[in-house]
Homo-oligomer: A and B are copies of this chain.
Amino acid sequence: MAHTDVLDLPLVLLSNRGPVSFDRDATGRTVNRGAGGLVSALAGLAEHLDDAVWVCGAATAEDAAVAEEAAGQALLVQTHPMPHLVDPRFGDAVVDGPSIKVRVVVTDPVAYADFYSVWSNPILWFVQHGLYGRSMAPSFTRAEREAFENGYAAVNRAYADAVADEVRGRGGKALVLLQDYHFYLVAEHVRRQCPDVVLSHFVHIPWPGPDEWRVLPADIRERLLTGLLGSDVVGFHTRRYARNFVLCASELLGLPIDLDALTITVGDRTVRARYYPISVDPAALDATLASEQVTAHVSMLRYIFGLDDDRQLMLRVDRTDPSKNVVRGFQAFGVLLEQHPELVGKVSFLALLQPSRTDVPEYADYIALIGAVVADLNAKYTKDGRQPIDLRMVEDFPLAVAAFSICDVLVVNAIADGMNLVAKEVAVVNRRGGVLALSETAGAHEELGEFAVTLHPFDIQQMADAFYAALTMPLEERHRRLAAAAQQVRANDVARWLADQLADLRRVAGF
């Protein structure tokens, strides 16, 4: 077949979490579609192509069972209208809707734990979000080095072999899209086995400058960078991350770079750093907002927080990750109430926090600190039985969307955040002239900063002042800004995120 477009090439995707996951209930095996913009966008692409396969890890015991039955082969899953595994004995013949091929890679559990729970999190996550204090942590001993070799590197090799196997099964030439910080070593392995691939690796979290990477052992950071440089394109959310990546190639590997063109010369190849801000699916959000479940939540929230009177609602929706900066956010709220006592009893702060990685001590400690500051402020500022902070440790998307739609201020004060999709979700569904209060170091600030109130995440007083500015902003101005932010997000949705990457890969591949 003559390829006249990069999408005429077979497509091989890789991410740690796949597009579907299997489980088991009383009726037998069940299939769940993954949630989130990334999975939706890539699954939509894969479903519409003639020949696509998604390589991923086993998220459940049933995933592992399915993978074992498949004996290393890809499975065909029909995703609509009702997701189900297609019986391989009948093949494509019985498929009557969108489908996707999935190859689940199962690795040794000890190796996977070293890969996922030692190196991906916390080490790489902490380095890339700048969370190490350095005077005491991190330290790398033989244990961490062995976890790298036997865990991160070994698991990356297993996934790379699966990807290369799928590429070879398609004649050795394919478009390969790798995702995120779990797989920095994959591109190089795949390219070595399949030199004709068109390969892109997208990094979904921040990429800090060279100094930050110096906390990693020299050989390991060099291998991570060299691994990524097996790609044709390394994608990031923002220009800042892409620049930092190019500077790393210069300072840590001594490679020739062009900082303006964002290119790196690796032997006779040119690797391009690019930025594509990930986004949301506005139509899906609109549909969720219109659902009965969300409508019911909206009524309840309006009642609880007295929003039909002249009360106001601040909102945050985050994982309980130290990078999200929840504690300083509440401290700034406390300063706001202290300096503007007229707001006590009039402004509530709803925090929907999803507990995360509670097996990591830093995360468990952080939850305790959140509880402490909330208790302190609620003890100080409760008025007429109304607590200033309503802290809920839940993951409930319909509840979150309901809150998005009616908040007066959304607080995103992350220390560092690759993108932060909550800001974009609020821009799309808010109906109350909600003001985005956005950290300058969240990726979303590069696109939405001009419509937002900027937060400086370490500057408690500045955040308190910014909250005050947001709460007292004239309603007309609030609606004007919100409309502009919504327009920006709708025009740059997740489909655009993918289309821009494909357009660049088209050029790289010479189409």
Output the nearest chain B residue to A214 by Cβ-Cβ distance. Answer: B441
Assembly stoichiometry (copies): 2
Query: A residues 71-125 with Cβ under 8 Å of B?
Result: none
Interchain CB contact under 8 A, B133 and A218: no
Proximity string of chain A (452-470) to chain B, C-beta cutoff 8 Å, 1 when within and 0 when not: 0010101111100000000
Q: Within 8 Å of chain B (Cβ to Cβ): is A440?
A: yes
* Chain B residues with CB under 8 A of A216: 458
Residue A511 interfacial (CB < 8 Å): no
Whether a CB of chain B sits under 8 angstroms from the CB of A376 is: no
In the complex, the chain B residue whose C-beta lies closest to that of A324 is B135
Binds B, one of A205-213, A392-400, A479-487: A205-213
Q: Does A132 contact B (CB under 8 A)?
A: yes
Min CB distance, A462 to chain B, in Å?
A: 6
Q: Given known contacts A211-B130, A244-B211, is B459 in contact with A322 (CB within 8 Å)?
A: no
Docked complex Cα distance between A72 and B460 (Å): 39
List, in ascending order, chain B residues with CB within 8 A of A142's CB.
335, 461
- Say yes or no: B440 contacts A214, CB within 8 Å: yes
- Using CB atoms, name the residue of chain B closest to A439: B214
In the bound complex, do residue A134 and residue B134 qualify as a contact, i.e. CB atoms below 8 Å apart? no
Q: Count residues on chain A whose CB falls below 8 Å from chain B CBs.
A: 50
Q: Closest CB of chain B to A333's CB: distance in Å?
A: 13
CB proximity of A269 to chain B, nearest CB, Å: 23
From known contacts A135-B322, A456-B217, A458-B216, infer whether A141 and B335 are also in contact, taking CB-CB under 8 Å.
yes
- Would you call B259 and A251 a contact (CB within 8 A)? no
Q: A308-346 vs B: 1/0 string, CB under 8 Å? A: 000000000000001101011001000100000000000
Alpha-carbon distance A135/B364, docked complex (angstroms):
13
Interface centre among A145, A214, A243 (most CB of B within 10 A): A214
| Chain B CB within 8 A of A139 CB | yes
A136 on the B face (CB < 8 A): yes
Q: Are the CB atoms of A139 and B369 closer together than 8 Å? A: no
Question: Given A141-B461, A212-B211, A259-B259, do A218 and B136 touch, yes or no (CB 8 Å)?
Answer: no
Say yes or no: is A362 at the interface (Cβ < 8 Å to chain B): yes
Cross-chain contact A458 with B140 (CB below 8 angstroms): yes
- Interface residue? A355 (CB, 8 A): no
Q: B217 touching A139 by the CB < 8 A rule?
A: no
Those of A213-262 within 8 Å (CB) of chain B: 214-218, 240, 243-244, 247, 251, 259
Determine how close the nearest CB of chain B comes to the CB of A171; give it in whole angstroms.
43
CB-contacts of A257-275 with B (<8 A): 259
Whole-angstrom distance between the alpha carbons of A215 and B214 in the complex?
A: 19
Task: Note all chain B residues with C-beta closer than 8 A to A211.
Answer: 130, 208-209, 212, 244, 441
Which residues A29-43 have CB closer than 8 A to chain B? Answer: none
> Looking at the complex, which one of B134, B214, B459 makes contact with A133 (CB distance below 8 Å)?
B134
Closest to A208 in B: B211
Question: Does any Cβ of B come within 8 Å of A415's Cβ?
Answer: yes
A382 to B434 Cα, complex, angstroms: 66
A131 at the interface (CB under 8 A from B): yes
Which residue of the partner chain, among B131, B441, B459, contacts A135 with CB atoms under 8 Å? B131
Q: How far, in Å, is A259 (CB) from chain B's closest CB?
A: 6
- CB within 8 Å for A217 and B135 given contacts A141-B335, A211-B209, A335-B141: no
In the complex, the chain B residue whose C-beta lies closest to that of A215 is: B458
Closest CB-CB distance, A97 to chain B, in whole Å?
Answer: 46
Tell me the bound Cα distance from A459 to B217 in angstroms: 6
Of chain B, the residue at the smallest CB distance from A454 is B218
Q: Does A138 contact B (CB under 8 A)?
A: yes
Would A145 and B415 be within 8 Å (CB), given that A130-B211, A133-B133, A209-B209 are in contact?
no
A366 at the binding interface (Cβ < 8 Å): yes
Please provide the chain A residues from 443 to 459 with a CB less than 8 Å away from any CB of chain B in the complex: 454, 456, 458-459
B462 touches A217 (CB 8 A): yes
A460 to B141, CA, bound (A): 5
Beyond the given A135-B323, A218-B459, could you list 16 further A-B residue pairs with CB under 8 A, ordered by the A residue number?
A130-B211, A131-B134, A133-B133, A135-B322, A135-B362, A136-B369, A139-B328, A139-B458, A140-B462, A208-B211, A209-B210, A209-B211, A209-B244, A217-B459, A247-B247, A259-B259
A-B contact pairs, 6 of them (CB 8 A): A133-B137, A139-B458, A140-B461, A209-B209, A217-B462, A218-B462
5 nearest A-B pairs in the assembled complex, by CB-CB distance? A133-B133, A135-B322, A209-B209, A217-B459, A140-B459
